[in-house]
Amino acid sequence: MKIAIIGTGYVGLTTGTCLADFGHQVTCVDNDPKKIEKLKQGKSPIFEPGLEELIAKNKQTGNLIFTDEIGPVVKDSEVIFICVNTPPKEDGHADLKYVEKVAREIAENINGEYKVIVDKSTVPVKTAEKVKETILRYSIDQAKFDVVSNPEFLKEGTAVKDTMEPDRIVIGADSQKAKEKMLEVYKPLIDKTNAPVKIVSVRSAELIKHGANTFLATKISFANLIAQTCEEAGADALEVLEAIGLDERIGRYFLNPGIGFGGSCFPKDIAAYKKTLEILGIDSSLVESVQKINESAIEKFLQKIEKELWVIDNKEIAVLGIAFKANTDDIRNAPALKLIKKLKSDGANIQAYDPQAMENAKKEIPDIKYFDNPYEAIKGVEALVICTEWDEFKNLDLQKIKELMVTPIIFDGRNIFNPAKMKELGFRYYGVGR
């Protein structure tokens, strides 16, 4: 099939590249010429394990093309995926201006051949109807099309694997023709993996992603609530949560206390879902509590640092991990950024290291010291703060770290070390809920 991908962020680029690998003829469109030029060279503009190799492979076969011209691609494609950003507004609403812009551009270039327009971006319920209205309003020819919702469930750091081995495919379509077309898109994947396919109404599909992310965020905030309880009660959150997670009705996944969730999805998606509840006249206090607990996680962690170090001013502090999670270079809403900015405002001198996110971090916080390896960042500091659970950090030479530090104090925001072992090695060690 001839498929268009409009927008080459995490979702669009991963989706388009994997669809090309399934054997489709995929053209990815983006309005950033520099990004397109980089992609034409077979280089990924984002760090995502396995993605760059897949881009190069499918460019070589001719199944994957990149361009900044949307018109010819719309005319030539059978299925058009909208994969643009939907950032949050100040009031929590999803900003749909990029979705509307693409819908108008599709309308201006659509021809008389039937097409399926796919909302892949995470959008509020009823957005597909607005996309349809926009295309009908601005189309010149008698447009024949359906708008469907096909939410993504990619996790940054495992996006390629999540696309190639999905735990489910959700297709929201209100016409038989659109359902058949979308099943044709995913047929190579379904045949290969036998992935479960859930065909639902368009509105249901639009609610599934916001509902899933809100539930996962709730599990993280619950884990942090347990961690706060354990710290006050003198218990161990990891012991408590592991036992809770053994209940198959609950599950262990995402029951990990820490310094809060970040990234591009959870904060904006739960804010958008909260706004949806308010619009529909439904009590949103549960979602509001999830947000508050997440915000308090980093605040309580900072309080530990301030209490132990007493005076922050002019102290050398190392921060390992800036990305919001491991295996990505994404720093959007990263807890590390909030922590660094607060410590800086208190007068700390920050020495930072991250395996992938430092170039992005330098744009956000240029006036701290960045180092090429963790040991250089740790040398001569009075405290070490761990903000991202990179495997590289789990395998550090702890004895060497102790020797490099002025005072062996570690604040572990991701609980990657064992408190008993750290104490045995002579560290003053602070985890979350330990």
The Cα–Cα gap between 430 and 434 comes to 8
Q: What is the mean pLDDT of residues 150-154?
A: 94
Q: Which residues touch 392 (CB under 8 Å, ≥6 apart)?
A: 355, 374
Residue 140 scores a pLDDT above 80: no
Q: What is the mean pLDDT of residues 96-119?
A: 94
What DSSP character marks residue 31?
Answer: S
pLDDT score of 287: 96
pLDDT band at 119 (very low <50, low <70, confident <90, very high): very high
Active site residue 265: yes
Q: What is the DSSP string of 103-127?
A: HHHHHHH--SS-EEEEE-S---TTH
What DSSP character marks residue 178?
Answer: H
Q: What amino acid is encoded at 428 in this protein?
A: R
Domain residue limits, the chain: 2-200, 212-287, 298-430
pLDDT score of 125: 93
Please tell me the pTM assigned to this model: 0.90
Q: What is the mean pLDDT of residues 100-118?
A: 94
Top pLDDT among 5 and 121 is at: 5
What DSSP character marks residue 190?
Answer: H
pLDDT score of 88: 85
The answer to whether the Cα torsion of 284, 286, 291, 295 is positive or negative is positive
Residue 141 scores a pLDDT above 80: no
pLDDT tens profile 240-271: 999 999 999 999 999 999 999 998 889 999 99
pLDDT tens profile 51-75: 999 999 999 999 999 999 999 999 9
pLDDT score of 376: 97
Domain 298-430: give its CATH superfamily. NAD(P)-binding Rossmann-like Domain (3.40.50.720)
pLDDT score of 396: 96
| Cβ(169)–Cβ(182) below 8 Å | no
| Cβ(127)–Cβ(133) below 8 Å | no
Residue 34 scores a pLDDT above 90: yes
CATH class of 2-200: alpha beta
Share of the chain above pLDDT 70, in %: 100
22-54: burial string, b at 16+ Cβ within 10 Å, e else: bebbbbbbbbeeebbeebeebebbbbbeebbeb
The Cα–Cα gap between 411 and 387 comes to 9
Q: Which two tokens stand for residue 409?
A: 């104090």
Q: What is the mean pLDDT of residues 34-39?
A: 94
298-430 and 2-200 share a CATH fold: yes
Please compute Rg for the chain using Cα positions.
24
pLDDT score of 111: 87
Fold of 212-287: N-(1-d-carboxylethyl)-l-norvaline Dehydrogenase; domain 2 (1.10.1040)
Q: What is the DSSP string of 259-306?
A: S---SSSHHHHHHHHHHHHHHTT---HHHHHHHHHHHHHHHHHHHHHH
Q: What is the mean pLDDT of residues 369-387?
A: 97
The Cα–Cα gap between 208 and 135 comes to 24
pLDDT score of 421: 95
pLDDT band at 94 (very low <50, low <70, confident <90, very high): confident
Name the nearest CA neighbour of 48 among 7, 6, 15: 15
Least confident of 91-100, 198-207, 246-255, 399-408: 91-100
CA distances from residue 227 to 230, 300, 418 in whole angstroms, order as listed:
5, 11, 16
Residue 331 scores a pLDDT above 80: yes
Catalytic residue among 18, 28, 230, 265: 265
Average predicted confidence (pLDDT) for the chain:
95
pLDDT band at 233 (very low <50, low <70, confident <90, very high): very high
* 51-61 vs 10-21: helix crossing angle, rounded to 10: 50
Name the nearest CA neighbour of 111 among 83, 75, 164: 75
pLDDT score of 87: 87
pLDDT score of 325: 94
